[in-house]
Structure 1
Amino acid sequence: MKKILITGKNSYVGKSFKSWLGNYPDKYSIDFISLRENSWKEEDFSVYDVVLHVAGIAHVSTDPKMEDIYYKVNRDLTIETAEKAKAEGVKQFIFMSSIIVYGDSSSEQRVIDKNTKPTPSNFYGNSKLQAEEGIKSLNSENFRIAIIRPPMIYGKNSKGNYPKLAKAAQILPLFPDVDNKRSMLHIDNLSEFIRLIVDHEESGLFFPQNKEYVSTSEMVKVIAGFHSKNIKLTKMFNPLLNLIGIKFGIVNKVFGNLVYEKSMSLYKENYQVRDFRKTIELTEK
């Protein structure tokens, strides 16, 4: 039985992963630990095979007063946790990074491939990237480091932009018809991917995503359909969106383009256990 320690007691990814492993009750045991106080430093990590590090600040802030906190939590705490895990004999450390290390989405087509260099556009993305760089040197045959850079994660009770779009789908009669493409990752697909990474004791850099790219407009329409709402997509707002998108990043965040080239996300076992329509059904029902 694999013994897994998850950092971040309130983590959406962490709690969802534990729930997913409930499908395999005899294969894994899960414990959570909070890193908010210094008491975690006294805990014994040596009893665990894997540390899944999902503790961190997940939302993007532009408040310069928050910058130091982002680096302390997302970078420094990650490195300190990894160092403790290695020193105490943990075999694998899995770090949840983000596609945000590549910067923002774009109004133009934007495809990330294996040659794309990270160019973070804010201190959230930079703190994640610096955390990656800070733990890479700890990787060894006896301490395997797996870094996961997921795109937008969504699912039942998720936070971020998805629930805002889902709410819009249920109340708006019209929604902009924009032909964009986004990589996304349903929480079940991510949970299965992490499970496989644990099983195979992987190390390296990983880019999981759903099989399908997603258009924001089509996603809203599908969400509306599961609520028996007939939302109409229209291009009448597109000129205005193009105009204000230059000045307001939120437009590109919602309607911009940002995808992983699909071959980057292939794995030796299938982790994409939910197709797009099923993920929306499970999220919305």
Structure 2
Amino acid sequence: MSRILLTGVSGLVGRAVHERLSISPINELVAVLRTHVNDFPESTVVAKVADIDGNTAWGDALGGCSAVVHAAARVHVMNETSSDSLRDFRRVNVEGSLNLARQAAQAGVRRFVFISSIKVNGEGTVPGAPYFADAEPAPADSYGISKMEAEQGLREIARKTGMEVVIIRPTLVYGPGVKANFLNMMRWLNKGVPLPLGAINNRRSLVALGNLVDLVVTCLSHPAAANQTFLVSDGEDLSTTELLRKMGQALGSPARLLPVPSWMLETGATLLGRKALSQRLCGSLQVDISKTRELLGWTPPLSVDAALRITAQHFIEQRK
């Protein structure tokens, strides 16, 4: 039986990874939480930690573990209020991650899977010129910088200790339980709110939660994943307009889209101090997952349409 330590189990990705791994009789899971809960199966050991930083003691939780999936992080937020956001991101995402990795290596963990972010590559691409996994990083904000620095530190730990490190950089993740802008989009569509997004010709790569989890599970054991960095998406890039139409169909509430030109939306958003939001709606961000496909023989198991239907069904059920 393989014992696996999971962090970030209360988050969207960590929770889904736990659900996937817990159905296998060959896995014994150690779920790391900040507060204790009782809704885990008997095969899961719950380890409580107050905070994840450079001082966290992991000894008891790591005992007997052969692998770690580190999904916990101080996540990127739209309206940052910290006076020193880079310091705060580094405390959790860099110092916390490297502290866990060092103790994992000392405990004999064979493989450390780190959930990073596409923000390590940057904030946007020119249509037709996607990011590649091994391209030079170009993070533009504190969150992306902290993830890049964590990656660099993990590679050094792998070099010194022999523990295998696998880095996965997801694009925007959506699926059952998704929050933030994607959830707001579903709310607007479900209410039939007219949206001025009917003429957006960008290209964006997204990744369904089920596809990301499938890659994480693959990277836990695939020999070729050792000490590699992978980008992950659904393999089907969409414009914002296409995404809204597909999501509306999945919800059974056809999107009511007004053909407002992108330049007009970007200008208005800039004047209102919402330039970052306009970049997400109108800008492009594409990734090339050919390395992931070829090195691992991996294909996204869910199509965009299937994943959107699952997401929509969960949204509808939660509103009943």
1:228 lines up with 2:245 in the alignment = no
Residue 282 (1) aligns with residue 282 (2): no
Please state whether the residue corresponding to 1:139 is helix, strand or coil.
Answer: helix
Counterpart position of 2:108: 89
Between stretches 237-246 and 25-34, larger displacement belongs to 237-246
Distance 1:206 1:71 in 2: 22
Question: Which residue of the partner structure matches residue 191 of structure 1?
Answer: 213
Identity %: 22
| Cα displacement (A) at 1:3 | 1.3
Deviations 1:175-211 (A, max 9, x none): 4120111111111111111111112253211112112
Task: Select the residue among 266, 285, 290 that pairs with 1:242.
Answer: 266
Indicate the structure whose relative CO is greater, using CA pairs within 8 Å and at least 6 residues apart: 1
CA contact (8 A) 1:208 1:266 kept: no
Distance 1:114 1:103, change over 3 A: closer
1:54 aligns with 2:71: yes
Superposed, which structure 2 residues align to 1:29-68 within 5 Å?
Answer: 29-34=28-33, 35-37=49-51, 40-60=57-77, 61-65=79-83, 66-68=85-87
Cα distance in structure 2, aligned partners of 1:33 and 1:257: 35
Secondary structure of the corresponding residue to residue 273 of structure 1: coil
Greater displacement, 43-52 / 76-85: 43-52
| Candidates 79, 90, 102, aligned match of 2:98 | 79
Give, in whole Å, the separation in 1 of the partners of 2:174 and 2:107. 34
CA distance in 2, matches of 1:264, 1:63: 37
User: Does the 8 Å CA contact 1:147/1:205 hold for their aligned counterparts?
Assistant: yes
- The answer to whether 1:216 aligns with 2:235 is no
Q: How does 1:18-167 map to 2 (within 5 A)?
A: 18-23=18-23, 25-34=24-33, 35-37=49-51, 40-60=57-77, 61-65=79-83, 66-105=85-124, 110-114=129-133, 116-140=135-159, 142-167=162-187
Give the superposition deviation at 1:114. Answer: 4.7
Do 1:109 and 1:257's aligned partners in 2 also have CA atoms closer than 8 Å? Answer: no
Cα distance in 2 for residues equivalent to 1:9 and 1:155: 16
Aligned-residue RMSD, C-alpha: 2.2
1:39 Cα deviation after fit: 6.2
Q: From the superposition, tell whether residues 62 and 120 of structure 1 become closer, same or farther in structure 2 (CA, over 3 Å).
A: farther
Match of 2:44 in 1: none
Q: 2:194 aligns with which of 161, 170, 173?
A: 173
Read off the aligned partner of 2:144 and give its amino acid letter. G
Per-residue CA shift, 1:122-167, capped at 9, x if unaligned? Answer: 1110000001111111115841000111111110002232112212
- Whether the 8 Å CA contact 1:95–1:145 is kept in 2: the answer is yes
Conserved in 1, the CA contact under 8 Å of 2:168 and 2:231? yes
Q: CA deviation at 1:244?
A: 3.4
8 Å contact 2:232–2:289 — kept in the other structure? no
Given that residues 30 and 61 in structure 2 are in contact (C-alpha distance below 8 angstroms), is that contact kept between their aligned partners in structure 1?
no
Q: Which secondary structure state, in structure 1, belongs to the residue aligned with residue 298 of structure 2? A: coil
- Find the aligned partners of 1:245 and 1:102 in 2 and give their Cα distance: 24
Q: TM-score, normalised by structure 2?
A: 0.81
TM-superposed deviation, 1:40: 4.0
Measure, in 2, the Cα distance between the counterparts of 1:246 and 1:264.
36
- Tell me the distance in 1 between the aligned counterparts of 2:307 and 2:179: 15
Query: In structure 1, what residue type is equivalent to 2:152?
Result: E
Superposed CA deviations along residues 208-259 of structure 1, whole A, max 9, x for unmatched, are: 2112112221111111122322323332253421323556121002221011
Note if contact 2:125-2:286 (Cα within 8 Å) is conserved in structure 1. Answer: no
Deviations, residues 48-77 of structure 1 (Å, cap 9, x unaligned):
010111111122354452332111001110
Q: Read off the aligned partner of 2:251 and give its amino acid letter.
A: H
Alpha-carbon distance between aligned partners in 1 of 2:269 and 2:133, rounded to the nearest angstrom: 28
SS at match of 1:130: helix
Paired amino acid for 2:170: P
Asked whether the equivalents of residues 293 and 299 of structure 2 are also in contact (C-alpha less than 8 Å), the reply is no
Q: Which consecutive unaligned segments of at least 5 residues does structure 1 have?
A: none
Q: Which moved more, 1:177-186 or 1:228-237?
A: 228-237
1:107 deviation in Å?
7.4
Give yes or no for contact 1:94–1:145 (8 Å, CA) kept in 2: yes
1:15 and 2:15 aligned: yes
Which residue type is aligned with residue 190 of structure 1? L
Report how far residue 260 of structure 1 moved: 0.9
